[in-house]
Chain A
Amino acid sequence: SQTIHQWPATLVQPVGSPLSLECTVEGTSNPNLYWYRQAAGRGLQLLFYSVGIGQISSEVPQNLSASRPQDRQFILSSKKLLLSDSGFYLCAWNNERTGIMNTEAFFGQGTRLTVV
């Protein structure tokens, strides 16, 4: 069966410090990977998605970046955190191929980031 892991579960970082959140998926190959942020009162916002190694698409301009160094690994980074980067970050995956858009999406347990 497939599983998705995110770590750390919680993180408190000072303004201006770097960030690295990691997400890995097990039990599948060549998944589509996604980073979402859930801010209080704003719902879930798609930040980045990746359809393959080294392929990253950004949805919104921001202080964050993403990388996919391996097929089942997705990393969210920042060089200098801002207060506005605080939120709940969720990684997700699904398996889709061109023309087949009807597969289920699965989410990790999330990382609570507080920038102080």
Chain B
Amino acid sequence: KQEVTQIPAALSVPEGENLVLNCSFTDSAIYNLQWFRQDPGKGLTSLLLIQSSQREQTSGRLNASLDKSSGRSTLYIAASQPGDSATYLCAVRHGSGNTGKLIFGQGTTLQVKP
């Protein structure tokens, strides 16, 4: 059974710091991995999608890496800003048939202090 773990559960950093969020999964047979951002009481906003054949994806100050063989992904946020404060969720697309299911981690809640 696929399990996704995110460490740490919460993180507080001063503004301007570079930081890394971690995501690990137990079954390397994934189609892709997706990072999301969730603001309090809101839905999920897709940040980055990494295909199983890729090693990293970049969008602005965000860089996500994927090491499928070791079951790990990291989300690197450069020069953090207070507006980056949110919960970050990683999810792997795992399964067979016509629908791959997204399996989510519990999330890392980030607070960036001005």
Q: Which residue of chain A lies nearest to B31 when distances are taken between CB atoms in the complex? A: A101
B71-99 Cβ-contact flags toward A at 8 Å (1 or 0)? 00000000000000000010101010011
- B14 sits at the interface (CB 8 A): no
Q: Which residue of chain B lies nearest to A44 when distances are taken between CB atoms in the complex? A: B104
B26-48 Cβ-contact flags toward A at 8 Å (1 or 0)? 00000110101000011111100
Number of interface residues of A (CB under 8 A): 26
Whether A104 and B101, one on each chain, are in contact in the complex, defined by CB atoms closer than 8 angstroms, is no
Within the complex, the shortest CB–CB distance from A114 to chain B, in Å, comes to 13
- B65 sits at the interface (CB 8 A): no
Complex partner residue of A107 from B44, B93, B98, CB under 8 angstroms = B44
**Of listed B32, B98, B102, B104, residue having the most chain A CB within 10 A:** B98
Complex partner residue of A101 from B44, B45, B93, B104, CB under 8 angstroms = B93
Number of interface residues of B (CB under 8 A): 26
- Which chain A residues lie closer than 8 Å to B91 at the CB level? 44, 105
Given A96-B98, A98-B98, A101-B100, A106 contacting B107 (CB threshold 8 A): no
- Which chain B residues lie closer than 8 Å to A112 at the CB level? 41
Within the complex, the shortest CB–CB distance from B83 to chain A, in Å, comes to 18
Can you report 16 residue pairs joining A to B where beta carbons are below 8 Å apart?
A32-B99, A43-B106, A44-B102, A46-B102, A51-B99, A90-B43, A92-B102, A96-B100, A101-B32, A101-B93, A104-B49, A107-B43, A107-B45, A107-B46, A109-B42, A112-B41
For the complex of A and B, the 8 pairs showing the least CB-CB separation, nearest first, are A101-B31, A107-B44, A109-B43, A44-B104, A101-B100, A110-B43, A107-B43, A104-B49
Given contacts A102-B51, A107-B43, 4 further A-B pairs with CB under 8 A are A44-B104, A46-B101, A46-B102, A88-B41
Interface residues of chain B, those whose CB is within 8 Å of chain A, are 31-32, 34, 36, 41-46, 49, 51-52, 89, 91, 93, 95, 98-102, 104-107
